[in-house]
Chains A and B, each alone.
Chain A
Amino acid sequence: MRIKRISTFIMNKSIRMATLLIAVCFISFVLISASPIDPVQSYVGADMTRVGSEQREKIAEHWGLDKSPAEQFINWGSSLIRGDLGTSMIFRRPVIEVIKTRFISSLALMGTAWLLSGVIGFLLGNVAAMKQGTWIDKLIKGYCLTLASTPTFWIGLFLLIVFAVWLGWFPIGLGVPAGVLSQDVTLIEHIKHLILPAITLSLVGVSNVALHTRQKLLEVLSSDYILFARARGEKGFQLFWRHGLRNVALPAITLQFTSFSELFGGAVLAEQVFSYPGLGQITVQAGLRGDVPLLLGIVIFSAIFVFIGNLIADAIYYFVDPRTRGGRAI
């Protein structure tokens, strides 16, 4: 019974993912082939005048650009299924390789920010709800609401001004010190370059979790069993620990997993501000310099990334909270 339930859950989710992914691939492909940007021209760049029309045709033929869009899509799609995303024009390396190396450094950034914002946001939300109506609640709420309307990149710039330019505590940008061979870079230096972008991302990420947790705990606090617990004389931390925590932890955790989309978007901005060599930075480069295979690869990769987050959130709800399992009669 249990195995059957798990397998249907996985089956349903995979079908859903497959349809969405195919649609994402198809739509992005159609969009890009309908764009006025000539891939050959963006590949050649400033040397366009020195490249003859014959050479241009050769390049187009090499990429299969002379075929019809439908044929191109089938070619691209079939190599996609084999795991071949094509070759990046900027890096002259397979797209999948570029994404892999960049994603590892992005993962360090996003992971740190994700954990920090989750923990701090959860704590702030709980404190605000337990102290509802006091100045501390108002402070936390005000902070979260202001942060929610602050552009990520501006926070990055602000931190850069204060901590890198004025105080000089941190380097101004880049993932590693300039002029040092990559094998000589120490772990400490990696971490030093990671701290500011990570703080930027987590400052923004806090507000969502904190506001939701606060709302959820307020709902819990107005329930009958809390009233009963209060009547028994429980209060403060004991009350929260016994009756509050369990009820708010699950929504907060799942919310944090469904925030992968904003996390990814935030990382693009933070990496751009700090010139941190991650996935976000090459997304911007791929867009600005017309690297179509890389851009398509990143779109698909980000969709998978977001989907995995949602899948984990759904799975946690489904397996941990028995109330959310559907398909049963009342």
Chain B
Amino acid sequence: MNLGRKNISMIKINNIKLSIQKKLNRRQRTLVITIVAAIVLTSILVGGLLISDQRIATNFEQKNLSPSIEHPFGTDWLGRDMFVRTIKGLTLSIGVGTLSAVISAGIALTLGLLSATMGKWMDRFITWLVDLFLSVPHLITLILISFVLGGGMKGVIVGVSLTHWPSLTRIIRAEVMQIRSAEYVQISRKLGRTRKWVAIHHILPHLIPQFFVGLMLLFPHAILHEAAITFLGFGLSPHKPAIGIILSESMRYLSTGMWWLAFFPGIFLIMIIRGFDILGENLRLLVDPHNAHN
């Protein structure tokens, strides 16, 4: 490093920063951010569940209004309040995202564990399966699966769950491989425990944090793909207030200048996805022993 003046000024800046941050250390700050993100996400979820469908009933007296205090996100061509539709859509997205992320992470955990403990052929087969699912673009696989299942909620959930496990499977497989070579696992095997016993009693407990962090990090992808596939017209039915539906409907009205139909729902979707991303990343930092004391 070039020493001298620059370093001194760096130290000064750091001192100023320190005095601002004196109250909280990095771990505490991460915790606070995580809690805030969790509260925001839960409140949207609860809000969406509590608001009655009455609020998005068609009301032709109030159609095509630009954003105002009464309707913060404006209204659409049927006079429905866009704010309520957005919140409802996000709730639906979070729901679909949760379910598919959980299924996907479950598949990843099972396959990762099988791959690393059940011998060479199983490993080869599962790595090949991972490659197979990565060999076709996600979105194309999604379109194919929803097409096969005839669209709708089921198509989206199955499609998203079946396309998101490969990368997590790889991570879990690598993790298991590391644990597998640990001494206590070797000793346990030599003492006559079966592969299955070792997998469940020695390896699985170590994977729980990995699993939850992986699950949280799958979330944003699941929601993104749910919105994308719905936007393309393969996903949830047009009667549901899904974000993808809202955005694809808005396309027809954009040229007339109704920008608020697309702008606010999109911004909120990004916020939600980013929120889950931050949550997952912070969880990873807090759980990972290498970073725990930073």
Selected A-B contacts with CB under 8 Å, 26 pairs: A19-B128, A24-B132, A31-B145, A31-B148, A35-B150, A37-B147, A149-B224, A150-B270, A150-B273, A151-B224, A151-B269, A151-B270, A153-B228, A154-B247, A154-B269, A157-B262, A160-B254, A172-B255, A235-B2, A268-B140, A287-B143, A295-B147, A299-B136, A302-B136, A302-B140, A307-B135
A262 at the interface (CB under 8 A from B): yes
A306 touching B150, Cβ below 8 Å:
no
Q: Smallest distance from the beta carbon of A14 to chain B beta carbons, Å?
A: 14
A265 touching B138, Cβ below 8 Å:
yes
A67 at the interface (CB under 8 A from B): no
A284 touching B254, Cβ below 8 Å:
no
CA distance A287 to B255 in the complex (A): 27
CA distance A194 to B138 in the complex (A): 24
* Residues of chain A whose beta carbon lies under 8 Å from any beta carbon of chain B: 16, 19-20, 23-24, 27-28, 31-32, 34-37, 145-146, 148-154, 157-158, 160-161, 165-166, 172, 230, 235, 260-262, 264-265, 268-269, 272-273, 283-284, 287-288, 290, 295, 298-299, 302-303, 306-307
Q: Name which residue of chain A comes closest to B140, CB basis.
A: A302
CA distance A166 to B263 in the complex (A): 14
Do A273 and B251 contact each other (CB < 8 Å), given the known contacts A20-B132, A145-B274, A153-B231?
Answer: yes
- Write out, one digit per residue, whether chain B residues 5-19 have a CB within 8 A of any chain A CB (1) or not (0): 000000000000000
CA distance A149 to B137 in the complex (A): 18
CA distance A64 to B134 in the complex (A): 32
Q: Which 10 A-B pairs have the closest CB atoms?
A: A265-B139, A149-B273, A154-B266, A35-B148, A264-B137, A261-B137, A265-B137, A157-B262, A31-B148, A149-B274
B137 touching A262, Cβ below 8 Å:
yes
B140 touching A37, Cβ below 8 Å:
no
Q: Name which residue of chain B comes closest to A149, CB basis.
A: B273
Q: Smallest distance from the beta carbon of B126 to chain A beta carbons, Å?
A: 14
B257 at the interface (CB under 8 A from A): yes
B2 touching A157, Cβ below 8 Å:
no
B143 touching A283, Cβ below 8 Å:
yes
Do A149 and B150 contact each other (CB < 8 Å), given the known contacts A299-B136, A302-B140, A306-B137?
Answer: no
List residues of B (136-165) whose CB comes within 8 Å of A's CBs: 136-140, 143-150
CA distance A24 to B145 in the complex (A): 13
* Other-chain residue from B1, B149, B257 in contact with A35 (beta carbon distance below 8 A): B149
A157 touching B251, Cβ below 8 Å:
yes
**Interface size bracket, B side:** 35 or more
* Other-chain residue from A149, A154, A157, A158 in contact with B277 (beta carbon distance below 8 A): A149
Most interface-central of A27, A34, A157, A165 (chain B CB within 10 A): A157
* Residues of chain B whose beta carbon lies under 8 Å from any beta carbon of chain A: 1-2, 128, 131-132, 134-140, 143-150, 220, 224, 227-228, 231-234, 247, 250-251, 254-255, 257, 259, 262-263, 266, 269-270, 273-274, 277
Q: Smallest distance from the beta carbon of A262 to chain B beta carbons, Å?
A: 7
Q: Smallest distance from the beta carbon of A82 to chain B beta carbons, Å?
A: 23
Do A34 and B274 contact each other (CB < 8 Å), given the known contacts A172-B255, A265-B138?
Answer: no
* Other-chain residue from B228, B234, B251, B255 in contact with A269 (beta carbon distance below 8 A): B228
Q: Smallest distance from the beta carbon of A286 to chain B beta carbons, Å?
A: 8
A residues less than 8 Å from B232 (CB atoms):
268-269, 272, 284, 287
Most interface-central of B134, B140, B144, B231 (chain A CB within 10 A): B140
B residues less than 8 Å from A290 (CB atoms):
147
CA distance A16 to B251 in the complex (A): 42
A303 touching B139, Cβ below 8 Å:
no
CA distance A167 to B54 in the complex (A): 38
A272 touching B273, Cβ below 8 Å:
no
CA distance A16 to B135 in the complex (A): 11
Do A151 and B136 contact each other (CB < 8 Å), given the known contacts A36-B150, A160-B254?
Answer: no
B residues less than 8 Å from A166 (CB atoms):
257
CA distance A268 to B229 in the complex (A): 10
A288 touching B136, Cβ below 8 Å:
no
CA distance A287 to B270 in the complex (A): 27
B residues less than 8 Å from A306 (CB atoms):
134-137
Do A157 and B247 contact each other (CB < 8 Å), given the known contacts A149-B274, A165-B254, A262-B137?
Answer: yes
A299 touching B144, Cβ below 8 Å:
yes
A153 touching B247, Cβ below 8 Å:
yes
CA distance A295 to B128 in the complex (A): 24
Q: Smallest distance from the beta carbon of A35 to chain B beta carbons, Å?
A: 4
A residues less than 8 Å from B128 (CB atoms):
19-20
B residues less than 8 Å from A302 (CB atoms):
136-137, 140
CA distance A165 to B242 in the complex (A): 25
Do A165 and B137 contact each other (CB < 8 Å), given the known contacts A24-B132, A149-B270, A269-B232?
Answer: no
B266 touching A157, Cβ below 8 Å:
yes
A residues less than 8 Å from B270 (CB atoms):
146, 149-151, 154
Q: 18 extra interchain contacts, Cβ-Cβ under 8 A, other than A146-B274, A261-B137?
A: A19-B128, A20-B131, A24-B132, A32-B147, A32-B148, A35-B149, A145-B274, A149-B224, A149-B273, A151-B247, A165-B259, A166-B257, A260-B137, A264-B140, A265-B139, A268-B137, A273-B251, A283-B140
